[in-house]
Amino acid sequence: MKRFITAISIALTAAFALSFAAFADIRTDDIRPVTDAILRFKLSESGAADAQEMIDTTLTENAGKTAEWEALILAKSGSYDFSGYIAALEKYTDENTIASATSRIKIALAMLAVGDRSPKIDDIAETSVGEQGIMGMIYGLHLLNNGYTCSRYTLETLTDALLEMQFEDGGWAVMGEMGDTDVTAMAVQALAPQYGSSDKVTVAVDNALALLSKIQQESGGFKSMGTENPESTAQVIIAMSALGIHAEDERFIKNGHTVIDGMLLYKLDDGSFSHFGDGNSNRTATIQAWQSLTAYTLMLEKGERLYDFPESTVTEADPEPAVTSGPAVTEEPVTAVQTTGATTTAAPEVISANTADSAPADYKPIAYAVIGGTALIVCVILFAVKKRRVSNFVAVALVGTAAAAFIFFTDFRSAEEYYDPVGISKENVVGTVTVTIRCDTLVGKITDGRVPADGCILPETSFDISEGDTALDILTEAARKHSIQADIDANGYVRGLAYLYEFDAGDISGWMYYVNGESPSVMSSEYKLAPGDRIEWLYTCELGRDINR
């Protein structure tokens, strides 16, 4: 009987191990098609026939500005000729002053990834490592992990400085006293090379992993600033990959869902990723998903970390997936700075809103007439050419109805019609709040006329509120009344104010909002105001660390 029980136990153990291995293989096999689909999407977006052409055109044209993570991903995914990109990146650094330390380090990491061992990397390490608070420490640690040096920090002292910033809950954050998903995961990525060889690092990373496991959502994904999103999940995947932790690790399975499952919830049919799961392609979500799945693939196939850059040479490109058509990305980059952010766009001459309150809509009857007339003409043509099947006329009716619905639910206005110096007259007023918009952190950094000399875009100004008004509602009202350009996406994400956008002053720059001196943990579109609230919209270059409260 003992032999029988032992045999059964061995058989069950073996069966479990085989099924687990098969599951792991399935997860591995699932990743490559996803990264291939992202590449196909990026090729379609850039109009390039293959990755090499995209490197030679789009990435080279945007060297030093927006192309560095894509260059890093491609360099870690295959072998390509980056000579044109390298020359453009060198030229960009020669001709431009890069104010943000983290942006400079990001460029240095891209240089390392593509095989450029320029002396500029030594200069960047010397001037940038540890600057701008915790993010400068995290990014800087990647440089020191790759053998670079800095007179202000050694690998050990920079590591100690980062460990000292760890909170009691095991995490790290740019501000506050509780660990944030993104910053915690990024700190783990930077500390990973010392895991197992340094006791203090091992303990710190284990505590961070415990926190990340605890805050993982039932979907397998992660939240930041109170909102579940793929970017936070991506950073955790990169951290896990840096430590050799598989997605099937029981610490990171919730309700049967792995962290990879949490990421794939945001995958769209065209290969790109959405930020809010709303079906809209988002550049940052797509890039970070690509980064994370590349990191996971590197771990599985080569045992390498995403930010390890040994000496390498550039060879001919590997085979690539075929190009397929797909819509261009329409969303601009977003991060978890606020609850806000964006990229520079031209001043809109026509403003579109999903809900109109008082704007004229004289164009709508004309638009309806054009739609109806066009539909009638198409029906006449179908009748004349004897394409008289009922389904043809039904199709025309459906298209016409959809066009009419689009006109009905939108309202296009000129800038003169949109901005309203009189302001909105409200009913059921429950009190007043004040709003301030300032960009003091940009004074002296941006000198093209967008930044007022005193940093004040809107001095403290009172507004009436009704029950249920949010911080975003009042910002929108303030922008309209005082003719302040505001770039806000359909999800209520503030991309830019007064033509000052996220990333204008570095990778961790953008707009943050405060209520009564505190930074809320929810988006401004979700923060319900109370009478007497004091709202401030402030531009930060360092994820809030440079804002004096």
- pLDDT tens digits, residue range 204-240? 999 999 999 999 999 999 988 778 899 999 999 999 9
Joined together, the tokens standing for residue 411 give: 């309202």
Under the banding of pLDDT at 50, 70 and 90, the label for residue 390 is confident
pLDDT of 421 strictly over 70: no
Q: Which of 248-257, 503-512, 539-548 has the highest mean pLDDT?
A: 248-257
Under the banding of pLDDT at 50, 70 and 90, the label for residue 525 is confident
Q: At what angle do helices 101-113 and 68-77 cross, to 10 degrees?
A: 30
**pLDDT reported for residue 98:** 82
Calpha distance 497→535 (Å, rounded): 15
Through-space distance between the first and last CA atoms of the chain, rounded to whole angstroms: 73
Choice between 343 and 402, residue whose per-residue pLDDT is larger: 402
Please name the amino acid found at residue 382: L
Choice between 145 and 368, residue whose per-residue pLDDT is larger: 145
pLDDT of 4 strictly over 90: no
pLDDT of 337 strictly over 70: no
pLDDT of 19 strictly over 60: no
What residues pair up with 511 in beta bridges, in sequence order? Answer: 539
Give the pLDDT mean for 342-365: 40
Any idea which architecture 421-540 has in CATH?
Beta Complex (2.170)
Cβ-in-10-Å burial (0-12, 13-18, 19+) of 17 comes to: exposed
Choice between 43 and 506, residue whose per-residue pLDDT is larger: 43
- Mean pLDDT, the chain, rounded, equals 82
Q: Report pLDDT digits (tens) over 361-372.
A: 456 778 778 888
Calpha distance 192→236 (Å, rounded): 12
Using a CB cutoff of 8 Å and minimum separation of 24, what contacts does 447-453 make? 450/498, 450/499, 450/500, 451/500
Calpha distance 141→109 (Å, rounded): 11
Residue 141 and residue 190 in contact, taking contact as beta carbons nearer than 8 Å: yes
* Other C-beta atoms lying within 10 Å of the C-beta of residue 222: 26
**pLDDT reported for residue 419:** 55
What residues pair up with 167 in beta bridges, in sequence order? Answer: none
Under the banding of pLDDT at 50, 70 and 90, the label for residue 25 is very low
Going from the C-alpha of 246 to that of each of 257, 308, 537, the distances in angstroms are: 13, 19, 41
Calpha distance 349→201 (Å, rounded): 54
Give the pLDDT mean for 25-53: 87
- The DSSP bridge pattern shows strands 411-414 and 350-353 to be antiparallel
**pLDDT reported for residue 411:** 57
Under the banding of pLDDT at 50, 70 and 90, the label for residue 549 is low
Please name the amino acid found at residue 266: Y
**pLDDT reported for residue 362:** 56
Under the banding of pLDDT at 50, 70 and 90, the label for residue 375 is confident
Calpha distance 234→212 (Å, rounded): 13
Closest CA to 109 of 299, 309, 289, 295: 309
Q: Domain spans of the chain?
A: 1-45+166-308, 48-154, 355-409, 421-540
Calpha distance 78→203 (Å, rounded): 35
- Sign, CA torsion 97/99/101/104: negative
Under the banding of pLDDT at 50, 70 and 90, the label for residue 101 is confident
Please name the amino acid found at residue 468: G
**pLDDT reported for residue 72:** 97
Give the pLDDT mean for 128-136: 87
Under the banding of pLDDT at 50, 70 and 90, the label for residue 420 is low
Choice between 90 and 103, residue whose per-residue pLDDT is larger: 90
**pLDDT reported for residue 65:** 87
